[in-house]
Amino acid sequence: MNIKKGDKVKVLTGKDRGKTGSVVKVFPKTLKVVVDGINEVTRHLRPRRQGEKGQKVKMPAPLWASKVMLVCPKCGKTTRVAYINQGKEKARQCKKCKETI
């Protein structure tokens, strides 16, 4: 999975197509990501104490990682990721501007 927590991504398909946001959480086993402000669902919360009111809370739901694309922080374009070796470590590289991400 080439998307990590904190990356800026752009949504390619669905109701939020074209919007950008940062990745809040990554689920590598299910290949899903949670993006801040994207794919928001309404969750109804019950009152916990007597006299308290219930609430409707909007929260981002996971979406498939294949539906988002990484935005390069250097050139600002959506890009795929190439992996290169830097000494003993593996680094991600933008396919368009050839900068390490």
Domain boundaries, the chain: 8-71
Mean pLDDT throughout 3-11? 96
Q: pTM, whole model, 2 decimals?
A: 0.84
Residue 27 and residue 33: Cα distance in Å, rounded? 6
Q: Could you tell me which CATH class the domain 8-71 is placed in?
A: mainly beta
Q: Each residue of 83-94: pLDDT tens digit?
A: 999 888 999 999
CB contact at 8 A, 63 and 38: yes
CB atoms closer than 10 angstroms to residue 21: 20
